[in-house]
Amino acid sequence: MSSVYALYPTADAAQRAVNNLHAAGVPDEQITIVSSEPFEEHEFANREKATWMGWIALAGAVLGLITATWLTSMTELAWPLKTGNMPIVAWWPNLIVMFELTMLGGILAAVITLLVTAQLVRRRPAFYDPAVSDGQILVGVAAAGDPATVERALGVADVRRA
Amino acid sequence: MAHRWGMAVDLDKCTGCGACVTACHAENNIPIVGPAEAARGRAMHWLRVERYFEGEFPDVRVKFRPVMCQHCDAAPCEPVCPTYASHHTDEGLNAQVYNRCIGTRYCANACPYNVRFFDFFNPQWPKPLHLQLNPDVSVREVGVMEKCTFCVQRINAAEIAAKAEKRELKDGDVQTACAQACAARAIVFGDLNDPESEVARLSRSPRAGHLLEDLGTLPKVAYLERQTQV
Amino acid sequence: MSEAARKINDDLLRPLLRTSWRFYLLVALLGSVVVAGLVAWVWQMWNGFGVAGLNNPVYWAFYITNFVFWIGISHAGTLISAILRLVNAGWRRPVTRCAEVITAFALMIGAMFPVIHLGRPWLAFWLIPYPSNRLIWPNFRSPLVWDFFAISTYLTGSVLFLVLPMIPDFALVRDRTTGTRRKIYGVLALGWRGTPKQWHRLESAMQIMAVAIIPVAVSVHTIVSFDFSMAPVPMWHSTMFGPYFVAGAIFSGIAGLIIAMAALRKFLHLEDYLHPVHFQNLGKLLLMMSLLWAYFVFAERLTVWFGNESAEVQVLRVTQKGTFAPLYWTMVVCNFVVPFTILSLRRLRTISGCVIASFCVCIGMWLERFLIVVPSLGHKYLPYSWGTYRPRPVEIMITISTFAAMTLLYTLFSKFVPIISIWELKVGAQAVEEPVVQHAEHAIGEARP
């Protein structure tokens, strides 16, 4: 089992390679595509688009809200000091801190989701070629059952193995 | 019933002599800032006598008003302090806790009476004034706010003595330094919750009013308006 | 496609890969000014706060002016990056990172001033709500505590908003460098490869953050304005301060951005990426904000003049006719007369014209903050206590050093990170290049065995 891949100079060429791989019986989950820019217009780039991130961010925001509500009212009740004829638990000012921590909760939840789902905390890239930074698009199969079939499907002369 | 400390100042009796200012300095270890700093506007008079001239010669009128911390019941200086250094005690005093103060000076900006002062430098007293410091009052360090406390050290001492002697505080047991020093007895200090006390009686006078009352700060110093002209 | 991509890579990576002696000279000069500012601050802490020019009753002056000014400048990034991203304005692409960098650094600089202006700055950490053995928590009713939470949230959000889209560019730089630099950029690039999933997740995160950061930005400067409007000080206690300050912040932020972009264009030779149309668009925004600023100032001053409340009118008089009149009218010229003239005439709305207008706006907005803080404090309700203010060397030095610090941080950033977001630029270029490339590809595809 080894990785087989090729580099394509344009998104259209990469799309054709992906189509050929599909025709050769390689499913989407086994195909790896790496590029230095996102390609919204092409079909190969539309994989794994669905995400729970929005809902997770919302949950983070709710968590922030609860934390802030607890923090402000708990601390105000723990040491009830009178200031300026205001109530001990002062809701108008508390709302401000609650708003800020709500937004912070949402932002942090989105970022943590990004780090986890994009596997950004990995030290070694699994399957990569620096040529991608020059604008090439990498299309390949990570664990090729039948390297020869994959090679044929990729269709270019310069097929590499990793 | 709990005490509610307040003050009444009879502007008809006040001559503007400034003895109260001096007494306050002596009692509360207020720093002498020196002529250079005073010229920069940093003199620290917890109690000051404001003087206004009105009118043109020969119809000039002079008005004196001793102004100190009004210990407002709705003090604007209290909610703005981030560390609760400025807060309201159960006896109605606006307390300034020097140890909590980090010196944002927000309270001084919020105070409409300009009665809060900042220690721009570590305090010093030119000799021999260093010999007259009051041991009952702390000396503040650079970077904190300070202001009139209604001589809280005297209030506490009187309350402790009354408790030890198992009796109630009587009107006149607690005298602030300014009230004690005033030769005309223009300044009166006492418990507003005691309806028989002199300060409560004077606060009910038809001449009594408050400074900047329309700002809604609920100040506790009653000023009795002047009826005679200088 | 590769040709265009290669050119973008070359142009935008050049500042990272090649350094001239001018860079070192600039960093040395700016660095020494920043060090002088730090020395001034340490000197102030050592000798006592009295070395500054503050007094009774003007307890806030230069430091708070600088605080509000820099937090205001930081609103540039949010407007450009977040709002233009959400409305899908393509012309934002070369500009986003320049703007977000301003936000991050301006916030860091601005956030130092609440500490610099403290009487006992070594205790600033008491604003953090932690269970301490002093058995006390911060006072959540205080606008200064609101400031702490707002600025912390905005700083965190802005830094993340800046850094996340930098990750693909770090991967790019990693692939183009060798040795230690390659290792460092490799670490910074985290585990980024460029799979469709990673691109989608990055895009989702950026969308969420763009939506979240806009209300946070509005709230930050509103809360900064609350530092003033919550106090019963004449001409501070205004219900309009929230929107007024936010508008002023966006105004000064755009001006700061135009200056930064013009400098980058000139010194990093980015003429192919920052076009005159970008400056013209920003110039139109600046014009709009200038009109909005003028509207707020007029509404506030008319209300004070007409309402005739004696303390407020006194402050109005002292700013417009009294001791502060020269500063006030300079502010009006800088914030309205000059920008309005330059930016409404297309002939004058060139890059240089926009830069001149922006410099005027920066000066004018700094003066505006000063004129909000000092005249009001000097003329409160009891005339016996009125006072005035004169800055002293330590305040002036620290103020100057913040401008040097901003320039220095910006210079260093553009040396280590591509100042224009390379991958976002390429995405924008895709839409233009596709038709040209398809023909070539057909030919190559048929030639392949």
- Give residue C448's pLDDT: 41
Q: Which residues contact C353 (CB under 8 A, 6 or more apart)?
A: C283, C342, C343
Whether the Cβ atoms of residue C128 and residue C69 lie closer than 8 Å to each other:
no
Give, in order, the Cα–Cα distances in Å from A51 to each of A104, C195, C427: 20, 15, 22
B163 phi and psi angles, rounded to 5 deg: -65, -40
What does the pLDDT average to over C71-87?
Answer: 88
Q: Which of C129, C195, C444 is closest, CB to CB, to A32?
A: C195
User: Is the Cβ pair C176, A133 closer than 8 Å?
Assistant: yes
CATH topology of domain B5-224: Alpha-Beta Plaits (3.30.70)
CA-based torsion, C148, C154, C155, C160: positive or negative: positive
pLDDT tens for the 230 residues of chain B, in order = 899 999 999 999 999 999 999 999 999 999 999 999 999 999 999 999 999 998 898 888 888 899 999 999 999 999 999 999 999 999 999 999 999 999 999 999 999 999 999 999 999 888 888 898 999 999 999 999 999 999 999 999 999 999 999 999 999 999 999 999 999 999 999 999 999 999 999 999 999 999 999 999 999 999 999 887 65
The mean of the pLDDT values for chain A is 85
Q: How many domains does chain C have?
A: 1
Tell whether B83 is within 8 A of chain C (Cβ): yes
Beta strands B145-146 and A159-161: pairing type? unpaired
The mean of the pLDDT values for chain C is 91
The nearest CA of chain A is from the CA of C131 a distance in Å of 9
Question: Which residues of chain B make contact with C136, given a CB cutoff of 8 A?
Answer: 83-84, 100
The nearest CA of chain A is from the CA of B180 a distance in Å of 29
- By CA distance, what is B84's nearest residue in A? A81
- Give residue A35's pLDDT: 87
Give, in order, the Cα–Cα distances in Å from C232 to each of B68, B185, C227, C297, C354: 18, 33, 11, 20, 39
Whether the Cβ atoms of residue B218 and residue B74 lie closer than 8 Å to each other:
yes
User: What single-letter DSSP state applies at residue C336?
Assistant: I
In this complex, the chains that touch C, judged by 3 or more CB pairs closer than 8 A, are A, B
The nearest CA of chain A is from the CA of B77 a distance in Å of 7
Alpha-helical runs (H) found in B85-197: 106-110, 152-164, 177-181
CATH number at residue C335: 1.20.1630.10
Whether the Cβ atoms of residue A4 and residue A140 lie closer than 8 Å to each other:
yes
Q: Which of B109, B142, B212 is closest, CB to CB, to C119?
A: B142
pTM score of the predicted model:
0.93
Tell whether C182 is within 8 A of chain A (Cβ): no
pLDDT digits (tens, 9 = 90+) for C281-330: 999 999 999 999 999 999 999 999 999 999 999 999 999 999 999 999 99
Cα distance between residue B97 and residue B111, in whole Å: 17
Tell whether C439 is within 8 A of chain A (Cβ): no
Question: Which residues of chain C make contact with A49, given a CB cutoff of 8 A?
Answer: 196, 200
Number of residue pairs across A and B with CB atoms under 8 Å? 32
Give the domain ranges of chain A.
Answer: 2-37+135-161, 53-117
pLDDT digits (tens, 9 = 90+) for C221-248: 999 999 999 999 999 999 999 999 999 9
Give the CA dihedral C270, C273, C276, C280, nearest 10 degrees.
Answer: -120
What does the pLDDT average to over A15-31?
Answer: 84
The class of domain A2-37+135-161 in CATH terms is alpha beta
pLDDT at C444 over 70: no
The nearest CA of chain A is from the CA of C203 a distance in Å of 9
Tell whether B102 is within 8 A of chain C (Cβ): yes
Residue C22 structural domain: 2-435
pLDDT digits (tens, 9 = 90+) for A116-138: 988 877 766 567 888 888 878 88
pLDDT at C436 over 50: no
Beta strands B208-209 and B221-224: pairing type? antiparallel
What does the pLDDT average to over C243-259?
Answer: 95
Place of tokens 């195909």: A31
User: Is the Cβ pair A114, C140 closer than 8 Å?
Assistant: no
- Give residue C431's pLDDT: 64
Q: Which residues contact B21 (CB under 8 A, 6 or more apart)?
A: B45, B47, B48, B49, B66, B178
How does residue C210 score in pLDDT terms, banded at 50, 70 and 90? very high
How does residue C84 score in pLDDT terms, banded at 50, 70 and 90? confident
Cα distance between residue A161 and residue A2, in whole Å: 7
Place of tokens 């020097």: B98
Tell whether C81 is within 8 A of chain A (Cβ): no
pLDDT at A97 over 80: yes
C102: left (phi over 0), alpha (psi -120 to 50) or beta: alpha
The nearest CA of chain C is from the CA of B208 a distance in Å of 19
Q: Which of B87, B90, B218 is closest, CB to CB, to A83?
A: B87
Cα distance between residue A14 and residue C295, in whole Å: 55
User: Is the Cβ pair A82, B78 closer than 8 Å?
Assistant: yes
Whether the Cβ atoms of residue B115 and residue B67 lie closer than 8 Å to each other:
yes
| Burial group, residue C322, by CB count within 10 angstroms (0-12, 13-18, 19+) | middle
pLDDT at A151 over 80: no
- Give residue A123's pLDDT: 62
- Give residue C66's pLDDT: 97
